[in-house]
Amino acid sequence: MRRPRRTDSPKIIALIIGSKRTSLAKALSLWVSRRPPYESNQVMKPIRPAPLLTTPPVPLDGPVRCPLPQSTSAPRANPASPAQPVAPFPVDIYADDVRIYLRAELPGVTPATLQIHPHAGHLTVFACAKALPSAGPTSEHVFGRLIALPDCETSATLISTDYALGILTLVLSCAKDPELRPIAIPVN
Amino acid sequence: MLPLLPLLAHTSYTPPPEDEHPSRKPVFRMVETEAAYTLTVQLPGVDKPGMELVAKNGVLTIIGRREWHKPAAWALVHRESTDANFALKFTYDTRIEADKIQALLADGVLTVTLPKSPNLQPKQIPVG
């Protein structure tokens, strides 16, 4: 008996699904052919998930509203107005044996408005960008992002914060889960 | 009413041959007032020595170079920024007073004020 080839896939799949819809069979065949070849002696390597970097649809600690600029003395007309749209920002993450270093591009931010909240394996960063002098308070906007910390299952501890040239640098320490911590086993 | 774009038309930037580093266009915003145009450019990581702002032959060129070196002990985990320089180019005509262009760089934001020529500014004409 002839060994089935890859070109036979549409016919085989059409037989299996009992249908004469060759387009469906071809689509399934294409999906099968694009799968990576599996070898029986292949060792499946554990996949390390990439850091999850997403923008939260809503801030975790309630809506963020940037304060009005200093030049405007009148209070906000409607304090219950919806929160300003949150803009994401680029983040670089570095690490060494004990600490996590995070560099975020946040140009034109008022350092006093920085909100950094570490929580289980994640970090939330919010900041208000200064309003343009000529564009008025409408040009003010909020930077915000939820950042997953690599290899950090517990809540990280914020060690230091530095803001210079529009770049926020955070140094964090993450207490490793006891089950994930490497244990040295003495060999006699 | 005079259109805004013919006065300050944005053109694509072609890096000069001697510039070895690749460049990218920064986020910018232009606001017009009665007396001037205010250009705000986001240049995170750029300091004053790395800033190059030239107005020549009706072309305003903005180049921001970033100089940050990763400490040797830091291992990269995830990166979204680039080392590319920021580059932006605008053309302007005689309705901008090039001699009075002012610039301020603070917290990674460059603010350039381009004053309009006095001929464009509103004048009160006395009626005899």
Same domain, A7 and A57: no
Mutate which of B81, B112, B113 to test chain A, going by most A C-beta atoms within 10 A? B81
pLDDT at A6 over 80: no
Flag whether A11 is in a domain. Answer: yes
* Cβ atoms B81, A92 nearer than 8 A: yes
Q: Which residues of A touch B29 (CB under 8 A)?
A: 132, 135, 139
pLDDT at position A20 over 80: no
CATH T-level assignment (fold) for domain B8-14+22-67+84-115: Immunoglobulin-like (2.60.40)
Q: A7 and A62: one domain?
A: no
Same domain, A167 and A122: yes
Residue A11's domain comprises 1-36
Quick one: pLDDT at residue A47? Answer: 43
Asked if residue B5 lies in contact with residue B93, where contact means CB atoms within 8 angstroms, the answer is: no
CA dist A165 and B44 (Å) reads: 6
Task: Kindly state whether residue A184 falls inside one of the protein's structural domains.
Answer: no
Within 8 A of B76 by CB-CB distance, chain A residues are 92-94
Percent of chain B with pLDDT over 70: 82
**Helices marked H in chain A:** 9-17, 22-34
Whole-number Å distance between alpha carbons of B95 and B116: 6
Q: Under an 8 A CB cutoff, do B44 and A165 touch?
A: yes
What's the pLDDT score for residue A136? 54
The answer on A169 and A106 residing in a single domain is yes
Q: Which chain A residues are closer than 8 Å to B107 by Cβ?
A: 107-109, 130, 163, 165-166
User: In this predicted structure, what is the pLDDT of residue B75?
Assistant: 92
Distance in Å, alpha carbon of A94 to nearest chain B alpha carbon: 5
- C-alpha distances in angstroms, A158 versus A21, A58, A66, B113? 59, 23, 23, 39
- Comparing CA positions, the residue from A172, A160, A163 lying closest to residue A100 is A172
Quote the pLDDT of residue B87.
Answer: 92
Buried (b) or exposed (e) across A63-89, using 16+ Cβ within 10 A?
Answer: ebbbeebeeeeeeeeeeeeeebebeeb
State the Cα–Cα distance between residues A22 and A85, nearest whole angstrom. Answer: 48
Q: CA–CA separation, B74 vs A102, rounded Å? A: 11
Q: Which residue has the higher pLDDT, A154 or A8?
A: A154
Smallest CA–CA distance, residue A6 to chain B, in Å, is 39
Residues A140 and A169 in one domain: yes
Which of B24, B27, B43, B107 best probes binding to A when mutated, by most A CB atoms within 10 angstroms? B107
Look at residue A39 in the predicted model and tell me its pLDDT. 44
Give domain status of residue A73, yes or no.
Answer: no
Q: How many domains are contained in chain A?
A: 2
Tell me the count of A-B CB pairs closer than 8 A: 90
Mean predicted confidence (pLDDT) in A146-157? 82
Give a yes or no: residue A42 inside a domain: no
The DSSP result for B63-82, as a single string, is EEEE-----TTPEEEE----
Structure token pair of residue A24: 């469906």
Q: Based on the domain organization, do A22 and A108 belong to the same domain?
A: no
Q: Which of A50, A134, A165 sits opposite B78 (nearest CB)?
A: A50
Q: Quick one: A89 and A30 in the same domain? A: no
Residue A162 lies in a domain: yes
Which pLDDT score is estimated for A81?
43
- pLDDT at position A50 over 50: no
Q: Which two tokens stand for residue B108?
A: 């990674």
CA distance B15 to chain A (A): 24
| pLDDT grade for A140, boundaries at 50, 70 and 90 | low
pLDDT grade for A18, boundaries at 50, 70 and 90: low
Nearest CA in chain A to B35: A134
One domain for residues A163 and A115: yes
B82 vs chain A: nearest CA distance in angstroms? 10
Query: E strands along B1-128, which residues?
Result: 8-11, 23-24, 28-32, 36-42, 46-56, 59-66, 75-78, 85-92, 102-106, 109-115
CB contact under 8 A, A150 and B77: yes
> Domain extents for chain B?
8-14+22-67+84-115
**Would you say the ipTM is above 0.90?**
no
Beta-carbon separation of B78 and A93 below 8 A? yes
Mean of pLDDT over chain B? 83
Q: Based on the fold, state whether residues A63 and A121 are members of the same structural domain.
A: yes
pLDDT higher at B28 or A139 = B28
The answer to whether position A181 is within a domain reads: no
Same-domain pairing of A60 and A145: yes
- Residues A91, A20 share a domain: no
Among B29, B76, B107, beta carbon nearest to A166: B107
Please check the confidence at residue A155 and state whether its pLDDT lies above 80. Answer: no
Structure confidence at residue B7 as a pLDDT band (50, 70, 90): very low
CATH code, domain carrying A157: 2.60.40.790
Are residues A57 and A138 located together in one domain of the fold? yes
Say yes or no to pLDDT of A152 above 90: no
For residue A47, being part of any structural domain is answered with no
pLDDT at B29: 86
Closest approach of A108 to chain B, Cα-based (Å)? 5
Question: Burial of B90 by CB count in 10 Å (0-12 exposed, 13-18 middle, 19+ buried)?
Answer: buried
Task: Give the chain B residue nearest A94 (alpha carbons).
Answer: B76
- Identity of residue A161: T
Average pLDDT over residues B40-50: 93
Nearest Cα to A123, choosing from A106, A102, A94, A97?
A: A102
Domain-embedded: residue A105 = yes
Q: Which residues pair with residue A147 across a beta bridge?
A: A53, A123
